[in-house]
Structure 1
Amino acid sequence: MIIGVGVDIVDVGRFERSLARTPSLAARLFVDSELGRPVASLAARFAAKEALVKAVGEATGLSWHEIVVESDLHRNPSITVSGGSADAIAARGITSLHLSLSHDGGMACAFLVAEGERP
């Protein structure tokens, strides 16, 4: 059963300016494995984390560093949660997360579907 759907879009140029203006922002939003990517990829990963919050319905119990966007060998994205964030998501009955990312024309977009059974 689909519990929630979230979508978010980020202006890559605006995101890049935010990172330049606030040097500590990247470290607050991303774990080491996510850093070092092009700004469009970081913007898409930020959009994915925002899409997750929207799919879950609220940010209570969620932490940026416990939500990690990864890519497999074929560059297919996935999102994993750990710690208190995993507990908060499980408490909402969510057992599976499906993620799609895209960036083009100066915009980055993420679409996320949360599946499970309502508690």
Structure 2
Amino acid sequence: MIFNIGIDIVEVERFKNIKRFDSFLKRVFTQKELEYIRSKNFNMLTIAGYFAAKEAVAKALSTGIVFGFKDIEIQKDTNGCPKVKLYNRAKEICENLKITNIVLSISHQNSVAVACAIAEKEE
């Protein structure tokens, strides 16, 4: 059963203009995410897509960002599709709300990245 849907869209240009970019990356992304971003040569579309995904997940939880960005980790499954792993406060919120799964889609083109997250719970 669908609990909630979260969608976020960001302009890629926003990430090109961040001062202290390295500090931003370390504050927002987990080590595993940073490794993936590094493997993509710090592609701004990838960074924007992952950021939008974190925002979309927070919206799907109906909380907004009331926890650290690193509490939401974007991973890839064996087919290369995005999946969500939660830690700390974000994980607690999911457990309290009885959310069993979060389906995630990320897309980007030229100047924007968008993500949609669907939080599911048992019926």
Q: How does 1:59-74 map to 2 (within 5 A)?
A: 59=64, 62-74=67-79
- For the aligned residue pairs, the C-alpha RMSD in angstroms reads 1.7
Instruction: Name the residue aligned to 1:10.
Output: 10
Confirm or deny: 8 A CA contact 1:62 1:88 kept in the other structure: no
Out of 91, 104, 108, the residue aligned to residue 109 of structure 2 is 104
In 2, Cα distance between equivalents of 1:61 and 1:92: 15
In 1, Cα distance between equivalents of 2:91 and 2:101: 11
Runs of 4+ residues deviating >4 angstroms: none
Instruction: Name the residue aligned to 2:91.
Output: 86
Instruction: Name the residue aligned to 2:119.
Output: 114
One-letter identity of the residue aligned with 1:28: R
In 2, Cα distance between equivalents of 1:39 and 1:83: 27
Confirm or deny: 8 A CA contact 1:93 1:117 kept in the other structure: yes
TM-score under structure 2 length normalisation? 0.85
Cα deviation, residue 74, structure 1: 2.9
Instruction: Name the residue aligned to 1:30.
Output: 29
Q: What is the identity percentage for the equivalent residue pairs of Structure 1 and Structure 2? A: 32
| Unmatched runs of 5 consecutive residues or more in structure 2 | none
Confirm or deny: 8 A CA contact 2:55 2:65 kept in the other structure: no
State how many pairs are aligned.
Answer: 116
| Unmatched runs of 5 consecutive residues or more in structure 1 | none
Out of 46, 52, 65, the residue aligned to residue 41 of structure 1 is 46
SS class of match (2:70): helix
SS class of match (1:68): strand
